[in-house]
A and B are shown apart, each in its own frame.
Chain A
């Protein structure tokens, strides 16, 4: 009788153990099935020719599905040493064009030199610093690299690391 009971216990524990391990592995598989696919993750690197951006112009392009704003500052636009991207004499603001509040796309108002978000009224200055409303932080700067007059998005170059170091 005692032996019989032990056997049943053993079978119960063995079953429980196998089921637990199987369950955890299955959850892992389910989690991974929801991950972004490799083709999505490796969504390439974008190269932009900065010499084509005129003074005062705001260019929008797409990188990994996100809008990227490239603004070439005019002489009277306030500078921001912490965040400005310098290419020779030219001064650029380079940011991810998603409001840091909830991810809407702000628009650039040339007259006031302000990025405005229509969703919840957030505002950023021409360097992407949050100046009004709910956005909790300045517009993000995407990883980039400068090669002569060319800008490569997705790679972390010297200039990018410098800006990140200043922030920290």
Chain B
């Protein structure tokens, strides 16, 4: 055991017992971040802030929410919205930050794709990030069920039914997940448990892993330049700060992040106070009714692209039912991104997309295709809409099948140049 001396102050007293100074160095003041980055590198911290807002607003909502089909709707729409002081603020903050979190997640993801931050040592960062995306999706879906409005109910009905597509056990699995033959009280209460306990726990653990996975390969930079972090850190510590390619996480990197967070928060509270309605579907202000399906069912905007992949296949092909093709495409769409580090066959080469001509084209087609899928996912699937959805879904699948080929060719031509 270390020798404990008479402390010369509170921080020294703590330091002798918890090694706080060492801890702060490792986690903050000597955790090195490249200098050559832009505002897109602040999205991680913006997401942490949003997650904190979700936790705080969620705790306040939890004090009045009742997970029972007879009480849930009124506990949200009457108790929280009208009786609880500032209840409306917590609800709108919770709804808007859930939606905004997905916007930032998509920016965060596409930044990673553009700068090649998913490969050559950074695979685990990417994979844990995609697991977080899946966990956030489950969190958003289970949370959407809680107000027990018409959209809550029918979204739950449709999404749980997706598991019925699994061969053999499908039908029994759906009943097992719901705890009833239909979406009912048992379903609401168990999804409430998932939303407030199990999924948040999983998310916190995976966030910790996501951060830790960043420590060894380090943060990527705008030029995807590889350099010796220890050497650059020594330069910084020896006072050659201008010459060094790195800055400490705290206070230098975070101070810039806080600026971005500040700008983002202006936008966020503008939404919360004046445009919260985009996260509050009017159909969901009608209590759940299992005998009446709303005229149009669509998910929140952040699920529209994968929803459109699901329903894009509206006719049978080669004897396979349209529904099964849709389900397979949907399943593929949801794992395709996780596999990205392995679909990119130019594994040793990290560069921003504008230095990889074929990949650059691939990137922008993917982004545009996902925007098209998102737009058409909201429109009724009739006439030409159905066909645009069909082709956009096909392009999405083809892009991921083409990636190994494109990157293989890229790897070969790079090899020939050298």
Q: Which residues of A are in contact with B by a Cβ distance under 8 Å?
A: 31, 34-37, 40, 43, 60, 62, 64-67, 101-105, 117-121, 133-136
Question: CA of A66 to CA of B244 in the docked complex: distance in angstroms?
Answer: 68
Query: Could you tell me if A36 and B181 are in contact, using CB atoms closer than 8 angstroms?
Result: yes
Contact A103 B161, CB 8 Å, known A134-B314, A135-B323: yes
A residues within 8 A CB of B154?
104
B175, B293, B324 pick with most chain A CB within 10 angstroms: B293
Instruction: Give the residue name and chain of the B residue nearest to A106 (CB).
Output: B293
A118 with B293: CB separation less than 8 A? yes
Whether the pair A65, B182 counts as a contact (CB closer than 8 A) is yes
Within 8 A of A (CB), among B260-319: 290-297, 311, 313-314
Per DSSP, chain A at the interface is loop
On whether the beta carbons of B176 and A34 are closer than 8 Å, the reply is: yes
Q: A31-B176, A34-B190, A65-B180 are in contact. List 14 more A-B contacts (CB 8 A).
A: A34-B179, A35-B176, A36-B178, A36-B186, A37-B179, A65-B184, A65-B290, A102-B158, A104-B157, A105-B291, A119-B293, A134-B313, A135-B323, A136-B324
- For the complex, give the distance between the alpha carbons of A34 and B175 in Å: 10
| Residues of chain B lying within 8 A (CB to CB) of residue A40 | 179-181, 184, 186
Cβ A104 vs Cβ B176 within 8 A: no
* A120–B291 touching, CB < 8 Å: no
Number of interface residues of B (CB under 8 A): 36
Chain B residues with CB under 8 Å of A103's CB are 157-158, 161
The distance in angstroms between the C-alpha atoms of A129 and B296, with both chains bound, is 23
Query: How far does the alpha carbon of A103 sit from the alpha carbon of B175 in the complex, in Å?
Result: 13
Partner of A36, one of B175, B291, B292, B296: B175
**A66 vs B171: C-alpha distance in the bound complex, in angstroms?**
15
Q: Is the CB–CB distance between A121 and B314 below 8 Å?
A: yes
Docked pose: A34 CA to B173 CA in angstroms: 11
**CA–CA, A136 to B323, complex, Å?**
6
Query: A66 near B179 (CB under 8 angstroms)?
Result: no
Residues of A contacting B294 in the complex (Cβ-Cβ under 8 angstroms): 118
Indicate if B162 sits at the interface (CB-CB under 8 A): yes
Asked if B213 is an interface residue, CB under 8 A from chain A, the answer is: no
A23 shortest CB reach to chain B, Å = 18
Contacting residues of chain B (131-179) with chain A, CB-CB under 8 angstroms: 154, 157-158, 161-162, 175-179
User: Which residues from B are CB-within-8-Å of A31?
Assistant: 176
Chain A residues with CB under 8 A of B324? 136
Q: Does B44 reach chain A (CB closer than 8 Å)?
A: no
Q: Are B181 and A43 in contact (CB under 8 A)?
A: yes
6 A–B contacts, CB within 8 A, in A order:
A34-B190, A62-B291, A102-B158, A104-B297, A119-B293, A120-B314
**Do A118 and B161 touch (CB < 8 A)?**
no
Bound-state CA distance A118–B380 (Å) is 9
Q: Which of A31, A103, A105 has the most CB of B within 10 A?
A: A103
Chain A residues with CB under 8 A of B176: 31, 34-36
Q: Are B323 and A101 in contact (CB under 8 A)?
A: yes
Interface assignment of B381: CB less than 8 Å from any CB of chain A: yes
Tell me how far the C-beta of A122 lies from the nearest C-beta in chain B, rounded to whole angstroms: 9
| Alpha-carbon distance between A133 and B175 when the two chains are bound, in angstroms | 26
State how many angstroms separate the Cβ of A27 from the closest Cβ of chain B: 14
CB-based nearest A residue for B314 = A134
Q: Using known A-B contacts A37-B186, A60-B291, A105-B293, determine if residue A66 contacts B181 with beta carbons closer than 8 Å.
A: yes
- Bound CA–CA A105/B154 (angstroms): 10
The 7 A-B residue pairs with the shortest CB-CB distance, nearest first, are A65-B182, A136-B321, A105-B293, A104-B293, A103-B161, A136-B323, A134-B322
CB distance from B176 to the nearest CB of A (A): 6
Considering only CB atoms, which chain A residue lies closest to B321 in the complex? Answer: A136
Contact present for A119 and B158 (CB under 8 Å): yes
State A62–B161 Cα separation when bound (angstroms): 19
- Would you list which residues of chain B between 179 and 218 have a CB under 8 Å from chain A? 179-182, 184, 186, 190
What are the residues of chain B within 8 A of A105 when measuring CB–CB? 291-293
A63 to chain B: closest residue by CB: B181
B181 near A118 with CB under 8 A, answer no
- Name the residue in A36, A43, A120, A121 with the highest tally of chain B Cβ atoms < 10 Å from its Cβ: A120
Q: How far is the CA of A162 from the CA of B292 in the complex (A)?
A: 31
